[in-house]
Amino acid sequence: MKRIVVVLGDYYHPKEWINASLDHALGLLNENEKVECVEVQTNQLSEELAKKPDAVILFKEDRINPTDEKVDTWMNEEIGEAIFRYVDQGGGWLGWHSGLASYDINSSYTKLLKGHFEYHPVQHSQVKYTSVQGNDVFGPVSFDLLDEHYFVKVKEEETNVFLKSESEDGHSIAGWYHHYGKGKVCCLTPAHNKEGLLNENFTQLLARTVEWVSR
pLDDT tens digits in sequence order for the chain, 215 residues long: 899 999 999 999 999 999 999 999 999 886 667 889 999 999 999 999 999 999 999 999 999 999 999 999 999 999 999 999 999 999 999 999 999 999 999 999 999 999 999 999 999 999 999 999 888 789 899 999 999 999 999 999 999 999 999 999 999 999 999 999 999 999 999 999 999 999 999 999 999 999 999 99
Q: Identify the pLDDT of residue 140.
A: 92
Tell me, what's the pLDDT at 2?
Answer: 92
Rounded CA gap, 11 and 91, in Å? 28
∠ CA(61), CA(5), CA(78), 5° rounding?
A: 60
Q: Could you give phi then psi for residue 83, rounded to 5 degrees?
A: -65, -45
Cβ contacts of 126 within 8 Å, gap of 6 or more: 144, 145, 146, 147, 167, 168
Give the global pTM: 0.96
Spell out the domain ranges in the chain.
Answer: 2-214
Measured distance CA(213)–CA(183) in Å, rounded? 8
Written out in words, the top-level CATH class of the domain with range 2-214 is: alpha beta
